[in-house]
Structure 1
Amino acid sequence: MVIPITKDRFTVLGEEVKTLTIEIDNAQKAQDKRLSNSLKKEMYLKKVEQLELLQSDIAISSTVTAKELSDDVASRPNIPKYMTGTPLDDRLGGGIEIGTFIQLAGESFTGKTHFVLEILANISGANKILFFNFEMGERRINNRLKHLLISTEQDNNFLINSKARKLSEIIQEIKNKAKEGIKFFAIDSKMKIEVPEETEDLKAFRKISHELSKLSQQEEIIILLINQMNEQDQQNGRLAFKGGGDQMYDADIALFYMLNKTKSAEPKDWTRTMHCRKNRTGDEQLFRVDLVLDIHGKTKELIKP
């Protein structure tokens, strides 16, 4: 017999559980162990049915019509964005949405770390940020920041962690700081993150990207991870993260920062191009933008005649 899933049925089960509880108590007082065990089994089965009814109600209530979904989305507040203060803002509809996991890769000496520090410095003018610094010593990062942080607010809002190298430690620190209201995090770099439970690099890379992607959504924060490319991909002009796997899938935004090497210019004067190979935010537009560093080391869009 199929019993309809209704609230009345749930109430009936609750009353039967109460009755069985009394009967079990009486059986135990009479030291009738067999009857007591039999009644307990019946009571647990009814509790299981109650749980199944609750799960069924939740499943049913989570199904909505397209009209209901549209009305719900329209009633929600706009997703907060953080302006980077770089040419990326124009391409990303005014900034980066919270709940976004970004991976930035590129050739060596392109200036990936400089670009990320520039973004963090801009944001720290009004908001706290946290930078996981695994590539530079304390003296070196201090010298870098002296040229980027020009106000007391930036000095106080720019947080640095150079100690938490294990993935589990990084995740916990991000959770702790997210509770304090910090929304923007950057990690330099993926290659320095330790995953002791994974002995194979590919599995470790997969876990890093999967966990950070999930964390950005759960905590409604932005995580920017500096990644690498392998030499063969660079030579073949292939835009891919070192280690492949699910890293591209896990990223909401995938950026590749490439040098434009020319014999007619000194390496310090080479221009750069930022390629966006994946974008799940805003209008989901892909783009490429040519960049150059001005005399103050600020990243500007290269306007070609």
Structure 2
Amino acid sequence: MKGLDFSHCRTPEELQDALKETITLLGSHLDKLTNFNKKDEFETLEGCFKRLDATPPLKFIPTGLYWLDEKLGGAGLAEGSFINVAGESFAGKTTFVLELLQKLGENDKVAFFSYEMYEKVLYRKLRFSKTSFRRNLFLIQDEPYLDVIERRIKELIKQGVKFVAIDSRMKIQTKEKMDDYVKNVFISATLSRICRETGVIIMLINQMNEADLKSGRLSLKGGNDQVYDSDMIFYLKYDDKEDTRVLYCAKDRLTDSGKKWKTTIPNFLKKEHGADDVVEFSEEIA
């Protein structure tokens, strides 16, 4: 390993991140040296089952949105899920995710990686949110590098965070130069791995393929590897003629039914009749 150079660090925060990366790299090299002469050890299925029997069963977290939990079999979202939410521009992806965060954040700690909007715009969106949610939400707005995001998520998990939303996949960067396809595959594989290793739920706001938008097909922009990595995929579509939004579940690996489904998101006007589990869409916040 060549001499360390931190001259590129302009702030104490950047120096701290660089030092953490160096420590991680050194740890990786030490692990390789430790395991150099070590024989591989394998776990049998019986051994795996015995180990898991000594731990709590798979936990499902209700979203708090009655119409969504009903479609999820009344259980909610499974821990360890990697979920993609995609749709065309102005379909309301961010609004839907923020509404979901507000419900989950009433009782559990959640995190929002906000890379798309100015913080004062986010303030306008959430200024009437409940105090319990605001105290439970960790807001991350620093560098959108994938390795930094992974480190932040693991630190947040230590503080009790169970659900993480990232806005958006298009803003995530890698420090290694990659073409778009390889970068998207790397991002998807990394976030999926974090979910498997830690049990945290990650919801990633994504885009749909331009050509498929015109043809009416539902697919993620950036390659099908993202589909394989995902435990659940939601597509949000806006019908301007009917002024309605429809949520499609195109993949469900974790609930008992595993079926594809779609549902119309309740209109915000129903709030006047006492419904508080709807998603309020408007041009300002969509």
Q: How does 1:120-269 map to 2 (within 5 A)?
A: 120-147=101-128, 149-150=129-130, 152-262=131-241, 265=242
Q: How does 1:260-279 map to 2 (within 5 A)?
A: 260-262=239-241, 265=242, 270-279=243-252
Q: How does 1:27-106 map to 2 (within 5 A)?
A: 51-52=38-39, 55=40, 58-59=41-42, 62-64=44-46, 77-86=56-65, 87-93=67-73, 94-106=75-87
Deviation larger for 185-194 or 89-98? 89-98
The question of whether the paired residues in 2 share the 8 Å contact of 1:131 and 1:187 is answered with yes
**What is the letter of the counterpart of residue 235 of structure 2?**
F
> What do the CA deviations read for 1:162-217 (whole angstroms, capped 9, x no partner)?
11310111110001111122110000000001113133111111111100000011
Give the deviation of 1:92 after TM superposition.
1.6
**What is the letter of the counterpart of residue 123 of structure 1?**
L
**What is the letter of the counterpart of residue 201 of structure 1?**
D
**What is the letter of the counterpart of residue 79 of structure 2?**
I
What residue number does 1:19 align with? none
After TM superposition, which residue ranges in structure 1, 4 or more long, deviate above 4 angstroms? 71-76
Residues 179 and 75 (structure 1), Cα distance of their counterparts in 2 relative to 1, 3 Å cut: closer
Match of 2:89 among 101, 104, 108: 108
**What is the letter of the counterpart of residue 246 of structure 2?**
T
Q: Distance in 2 between matches of 1:227 and 1:237?
A: 17
What count of residue pairs does the alignment treat as equivalent?
A: 236
Q: Work out which structure has the larger RCO, using CA pairs closer than 8 Å and 6 or more positions apart in sequence.
A: 2
**What is the letter of the counterpart of residue 253 of structure 1?**
M
What residue number does 2:259 align with? 285
Q: Distance in 2 between matches of 1:128 and 1:78?
A: 20
Q: Secondary structure at the match of 1:276?
A: strand
TM-score scaled by length of structure 2: 0.76
Deviation larger for 207-216 or 252-261? 252-261
The question of whether the paired residues in 1 share the 8 Å contact of 2:83 and 2:203 is answered with yes
The question of whether the paired residues in 2 share the 8 Å contact of 1:118 and 1:298 is answered with no
Q: Distance in 2 between matches of 1:241 and 1:78?
A: 32
**What is the letter of the counterpart of residue 249 of structure 2?**
C
Structure with greater helix percent: 1
The question of whether the paired residues in 1 share the 8 Å contact of 2:64 and 2:277 is answered with no
Give the deviation of 1:76 after TM superposition.
5.5
Structure 2 unaligned regions, length at least 5 = 1-35, 280-286
Structure 1 unaligned regions, length at least 5 = 1-46, 301-305
> What do the CA deviations read for 1:196-254 (whole angstroms, capped 9, x no partner)?
31331111111111000000110110000000013211111111001113100000001
> What do the CA deviations read for 1:90-147 (whole angstroms, capped 9, x no partner)?
1223210110000000111111100000000111111111100111101000111113
Residues 74 and 171 (structure 1), Cα distance of their counterparts in 2 relative to 1, 3 Å cut: closer
Q: Distance in 2 between matches of 1:159 and 1:240?
A: 30
Residues 73 and 114 (structure 1), Cα distance of their counterparts in 2 relative to 1, 3 Å cut: same
What residue number does 2:24 align with? none
Q: Distance in 2 between matches of 1:110 and 1:272?
A: 8
Q: Distance in 2 between matches of 1:99 and 1:282?
A: 12
> What do the CA deviations read for 1:51-110 (whole angstroms, capped 9, x no partner)?
54xx4xx43x51439xx95x8877753322222122221122321011000000011111
**What is the letter of the counterpart of residue 265 of structure 2?**
L
The question of whether the paired residues in 2 share the 8 Å contact of 1:115 and 1:299 is answered with no
Q: Percent same amino acid among aligned pairs?
A: 34
Residues 293 and 198 (structure 1), Cα distance of their counterparts in 2 relative to 1, 3 Å cut: farther
